[in-house]
Amino acid sequence: MKLKTMLALAFSLAFAQAQAQQTATPDTIRTKQGPLVVQPVSHGSLVLNYNGKNIYVDPTGGAEAYAGLAKPDLILITDIHGDHLDPETLRALETSGVKVVVPQAVADQLPEQYKQQLVVLKNGENTTQQGIAIKAIPMYNLPESPDAMHPKGRGNGYLLEMGGKRVYLSGDTEGTPEMRQLKNIDVAFVSMNLPYTMDVDQAADAVLAFKPKVVYPYHYRGKDGLSDVDSFKQQVNAKNKQIDVRLKDWYPAQ
């Protein structure tokens, strides 16, 4: 009995230490096939755990940012900028044999060692990886311009389907027609940081258009600091109280 108690205590301490490594408490969302765990990491980086699989989204920050988390089973990268594409972090993580879903622009910049692992999607294309249906959603600045920081067609947002839930990852985008026309979104991660994506007012307006059940403002550090996500929540819920706006700590050092 004493041994069991000691083992239970050791497990609890190990779990607590692993959780302490992370910047924000994870959320759990029920699906038809078990829990979907949302673990914010930092800025545009997060980990989704579903059906025993770990999906790393835009992994950056080095291996230390993922201390205590299981290795990735699938990686999604949205764009070429350093807060989304970080080859040093990829090298630091255990990624051997792991499929990496990317747009062509990202594939062009990744080292040769990853070429056999890549699944390249253009906007509008689909794939299924680890039992998860994935669709590439356009992400871009408005008005459209060839010299925009995020021109249409270069990067991908992603729409994932897991256990009957539809999860939207916006990537670096404004409130495009493609975003506003999304249907039946259960969970959305929406960026809002000037001058790179859109401001809080634009993000709130876009979210009110496609009405996700749950929305996480993320990627909200801009040129002049952090966006006012409290205002985002107030604006959304003033017009639609049914949308669950979840504010997480994506920038603990700020």
In a structure prediction context, what are the per-residue pLDDT tens digits for the chain, which is 254 residues long? 343 333 333 333 333 333 435 568 999 999 999 999 999 999 999 999 999 999 999 999 999 999 999 999 999 999 999 999 999 999 999 999 999 999 999 999 999 999 999 999 999 999 999 999 999 999 999 999 888 999 999 999 999 999 999 999 999 999 999 999 999 999 999 999 999 999 999 999 999 999 999 999 999 999 999 999 999 999 999 999 999 999 999 997 75
What's the pTM value of the predicted model, to 2 decimals? 0.90
Domains contained in the chain, number: 1
Note whether 56 and 78 are within 8 A (CB): no
**Residue tagged 């897991």 (tokens):** 162
Q: Which domain holds residue 214?
A: 25-245
Is 153 within a domain?
Answer: yes
Q: Indicate which CATH number applies to the domain containing 170.
A: 3.60.15.10
Residue 90's nearest CA partner among 116, 113, 122, 120 is 113
Is 154 within a domain?
Answer: yes
**Residue tagged 């790393």 (tokens):** 56
Is 9 within a domain?
Answer: no
Is 217 within a domain?
Answer: yes
How far is Cα 12 from Cα 240, in angstroms, rounded to an integer? 40
